Amino acid sequence: MRFFRADFSLGQKSLGSRSFQRSLSERVRRCVEGVDSPSRGVRAKSGKGASTVDRWGGGRVLRFALLLGVLGVLGGATVGCDFNATEIPKQDYPVAPLPNMRIATLRERCAEGPVTFRAEGVVLAGYVTSSDRANNFYRSLFLEDNSGAMELMTGLYDQYNRYPLGMRVVVTADSLCAMLSEGVLQLGLPRITEGRSPESLGSTVVADRHLHRTSDRITPAPYPASLSRLEPRLMGCLVHLSHLKLDPAVDTTWAISARRAEDGVPHSVSLKFRAAASRDSLYVTTSGYAQWADAAVPKSLLSMVGVLSQTQINGRAVYQLTLRDLQDVQME
């Protein structure tokens, strides 16, 4: 870093000297009170010919402002100034544990049922691929390494502030429970009762015990997938799908916000999209709280990026895509 230090002088007194500061402060006081005003007794007559400054008492204000400006220089003259101050400093975090298990390995262990870690020292890591900034992800966080993806049941709001898109997060799994839910590997606290998902961590205090933030950042690149080749290992992963078309092609919106809902409650909507060259399909689910809930859905061919999972539609398991924001949708 580069710093500079200025030391202006006025006569025999340095601007940084205590004696000059005291004398300058006294001058400010006397000038404001009109005791030591250079223009005292030379005021323009009131009325049409009077100056605007004198009519509003601004001569005194102007002199005061000029002296304050000198004081401002004085304050800055003895302070080191960083030329790089406009750059956002890189956040430093405590050193995180070293990962010793891949996400795909944990997924394999959960194939026969939930796994609860006691004191095994299992550590995983991945990059954040989801974001709740636009309100389409709710209190969970998706991480991905080069072997697969998992969903962390954080139970936290506004996670994009603590775990921004692309941040590398290291996870210590001791005392946590992992299980498959709707095809997605989920990690959270052990359930007290039977359920399809682990319990949420619920607070930043608990989250900080298990989720270690790092300064490593990337721009997540989606996996180029096709509807005819979707497979379980891609569940929870950020994928890119092309040549999709709304089925049926009707006038509709992505979801129903509270403003448009008859009951005043936001409603999520799952829209069916079909591949242009086959009969393969998937559903794009959007929350009624999403910022683009009331936006019209294009009827043209689209390419989309989102987190892949499964859901139930009319009792049938189908693939589902969750968008992070409307920038994940592009017309072809």
pLDDT at 42: 36
Domain count, the chain: 3
* 107 and 47 within one domain: no
* 268 and 197 within one domain: no
Asked whether residue 49 is assigned to any structural domain, the reply reads yes
* 229 and 327 within one domain: yes
Asked whether residue 154 is assigned to any structural domain, the reply reads yes
pLDDT at 28: 47
pLDDT at 91: 77
pLDDT at 132: 98
Give residue 168's Cα distance to chain centre.
14
CATH code for position 234: 2.40.50.140
Asked whether residue 287 is assigned to any structural domain, the reply reads yes
Domain that holds residue 190: 103-217
Q: In degrees to the nearest 10, what's the CA dihedral of 28, 33, 39, 41?
A: -160
Please give the Cα distance from 65 to 49 (Å, whole number).
25
Reading the chain (332 residues) residue by residue, the pLDDT tens digits are 322 333 333 334 444 444 545 554 555 455 445 544 444 333 333 444 443 334 334 455 445 444 445 444 444 443 333 333 333 446 789 999 999 999 999 999 999 999 999 999 999 999 999 999 999 999 999 999 999 999 999 999 999 999 999 999 999 999 999 999 989 999 999 988 777 899 999 999 999 999 999 999 999 999 999 999 999 999 999 999 999 999 999 999 999 999 999 999 999 999 999 999 888 999 999 999 999 999 999 999 999 999 999 999 999 999 999 999 999 999 99
Asked whether residue 4 is assigned to any structural domain, the reply reads no
pLDDT at 109: 96
Q: What's the token pair of residue 302? A: 């689209």
* 255 and 207 within one domain: no
pLDDT at 2: 28
pLDDT at 260: 96
Contact residues for 267 (Cβ-Cβ < 8 A; gap 6+): 255, 256, 261, 288
In the chain, how long is the greatest CA-to-CA distance? 96
Asked whether residue 91 is assigned to any structural domain, the reply reads no
Domain end (from 217, 234, 259): 217
User: What's the predicted TM-score (pTM) here?
Assistant: 0.72
Asked whether residue 189 is assigned to any structural domain, the reply reads yes
* 234 and 179 within one domain: no
* 45 and 145 within one domain: no
What are φ and ψ of residue 206, in 5° steps?
A: -70, -40
Q: What share of the chain is helix, strand, coil (3-state, %, to 5)?
A: 20, 30, 50
Strands 223-224 and 238-246: parallel
CATH code for position 205: 2.40.50
* 235 and 206 within one domain: no
Q: What's the token pair of residue 175? A: 């005392």
Domain end (from 217, 238, 264): 217
* 259 and 167 within one domain: no
Asked whether residue 94 is assigned to any structural domain, the reply reads no
pLDDT at 3: 29
pLDDT at 193: 78
Amino acid at 96: A
Asked whether residue 187 is assigned to any structural domain, the reply reads yes
* 209 and 146 within one domain: yes
* 65 and 15 within one domain: yes
* 205 and 134 within one domain: yes
* 273 and 191 within one domain: no
Domain end (from 198, 217, 236): 217
